[in-house]
Amino acid sequence: MTSQIKGPGIFLAQFAGDAAPFNSLKGMAEWAAGLGYRGVQVPTIDPRILDLDRAAESQDYCDEVQGLCREAGVEITELSTHLQGQLVAVNPAYDIAFDAFAPKSLHGNPKGRQEWAVEQVKKAAVASRRLGLDAHVGFSGSLAFPYLYPWPQRPEGLVEEAFAELGRRWVPILDVYAENGVSYGYEIHPGEDLFDGATFEMFLDAVGGHVAATINYDPSHFLLQQLDYLAFIDIYHERITSFHVKDAEFNPDGRQGVYSGYQPWINRAGRFRSLGDGQVDFNGIFSKLTTHGYDGWAVLEWECALKSPEQGAAEGAPFIAAHLIDRAERAFDDFAGAERDQATIRAMLGL
C-alpha cells in the first residue's frame, strides 16, 4: 500500500545558488533524491534551473527536463511562479521593493513589469501541460494589503475595488490555466491580498468561482495569524490542490504579538521553523487531508530563522515520509462484524 498523498517533495527555490549542485536542475534533482525526496517543485524565475520561455515553446525541451529528473530519481511536482505572480498586482507602496523580482530593464516601469509578469505566468500554464502537470503554485499579488489595518478609516469601496481589479487581472490568466488543464494554487500568504479564508472567498467571487483558482495550502502562515488551520481544510478542501509542508511557532509575550514589532525573523514572536521544530500539528493536517481525499504532493518549503538549510533539507524528507498515511482498506472492527440479515435488523429494532 502507498499513501494517497504523494511525497516527500521539496521546493527548490530556497536552495538555488551559484555553486554546484545548486545551480542546475540536474544537480538539484540528484541532491534532492540523495536526501530521500521523490519530487521537486521547480521555480521558473531562474533559467539555470528551468528556462520558462523554452518550456512554453518546446515539447522536446520539456521531455529533456522530465528525463533528467527521472534519471536522478525524482519527478516534478509543480512549477512555481511565486515571484512573477506577485508582480501581477503591486500597490505603488511596494514598487521599489518588488522591482527586484523583474528584469532590470523593467525597473521603474510598473506597467511593463506587470505585462511581463502576466505573460510569464501564462507561459507557466503551457509549460506545465507540456510537462504533464495538472497543478501549479504561486502568489496573487496585492493592491489592498497596505491598508490591512483599518486605521486610518478606509474609504468605502476601497477593498471592493481592489478585489474587483485583482479579478480583472487574473481571469484572463486563469482562463489560460483552464485551457491547459492546470490549476493555479494560490499560496494564502500575508503580503498577498489572498492571506486567509475570507480574502480567498472575496477573490473567488471576483473571478466568478473560476475552476482554475485553487489553494496552495501552507499552515505556517495560518499559525502566525492564529487562524485555525485544521478547520481551514474542512472548509476549503475542495479547492486545495497543493501543499507546502512548513513549520512555524508563535510565542507572544508582554512586548510582541502577531505583528512582532518590526523585529528581524530570529527575534519575532511569530517565526518560521524547520519541520518538527515548531508548533504546527502535522499529524492533524495529514489526517485531515487524507480524510478529505487530497492526493497531491506534500512538498517541503524550508524557511527557518535558526537551522541551516542543509540540516533542514536533510531532516525534511524523513519527517514528511513519517506523516504519510496508508489509508485503511477495511474498518478496524470488521473482525467483530456480522453478515447483513434483514430479519435480524428488524428484530433488533423491534419491527
**pLDDT surpassing 90 at residue 231:** yes
Asked whether residue 77 is domain-assigned, the answer is yes
Asked whether residue 71 is domain-assigned, the answer is yes
Q: What's the confidence (pLDDT) of residue 2?
A: 79
Other Cβ atoms within 10 Å of 34 Cβ, number: 13
Phi/psi for 338 (5° steps) reads -130, 155
Average confidence (pLDDT) over 311-324: 98
DSSP track, 160-206: HHHHHHHHHHHHHHHHHHHHTT-EEEEE--BTBS--SHHHHHHHHHH
Average confidence (pLDDT) over 289-295: 97
Asked whether residue 181 is domain-assigned, the answer is yes
**pLDDT surpassing 70 at residue 276:** yes
Task: Give the whole-angstrom CA distance, residue 109 versus residue 314.
Answer: 41
**pLDDT surpassing 80 at residue 203:** yes
Q: Do 7 and 320 meet the contact criterion of CB atoms below 8 Å apart?
A: yes
Please give the residue range of the domain that contains residue 168. 6-348
Average confidence (pLDDT) over 8-18: 97
Task: Give the whole-angstrom CA distance, residue 200 versus residue 214.
Answer: 9
The rounded mean pLDDT for the chain is 96
Other Cβ atoms within 10 Å of 25 Cβ, number: 22
Q: What's the confidence (pLDDT) of residue 335?
A: 66
Average confidence (pLDDT) over 304-308: 95
Per-residue pLDDT tens for 133-145? 999 999 999 999 9
The larger pLDDT score, comparing residue 254 to residue 344, is at 254
Q: What's the confidence (pLDDT) of residue 103?
A: 97
User: Total domain count for the chain?
Assistant: 1
- Rg over CA atoms, the chain: 22
Q: What's the confidence (pLDDT) of residue 341?
A: 87
Sign of CA dihedral 116, 246, 196, 209: positive
Asked whether residue 1 is domain-assigned, the answer is no
Asked whether residue 48 is domain-assigned, the answer is yes
Average confidence (pLDDT) over 231-253: 98
Average confidence (pLDDT) over 300-312: 97
Q: Smallest Cα–Cα separation from 213: which of 222, 204, 205, 221?
A: 204
Average confidence (pLDDT) over 159-175: 98
Q: What's the confidence (pLDDT) of residue 336?
A: 67
Asked whether residue 215 is domain-assigned, the answer is yes
CATH number at residue 240: 3.20.20.150
Q: Is the pTM of this model over 0.75?
A: yes
Any idea which residue has 485503511 for its cell? 328
Per-residue pLDDT tens for 107-117? 999 999 999 99
Per-residue pLDDT tens for 21-35? 999 999 999 999 999
Any idea which residue has 514589532 for its cell? 261
Q: What's the confidence (pLDDT) of residue 1?
A: 64
Average confidence (pLDDT) over 279-307: 97
Asked whether residue 142 is domain-assigned, the answer is yes
**pLDDT surpassing 70 at residue 205:** yes
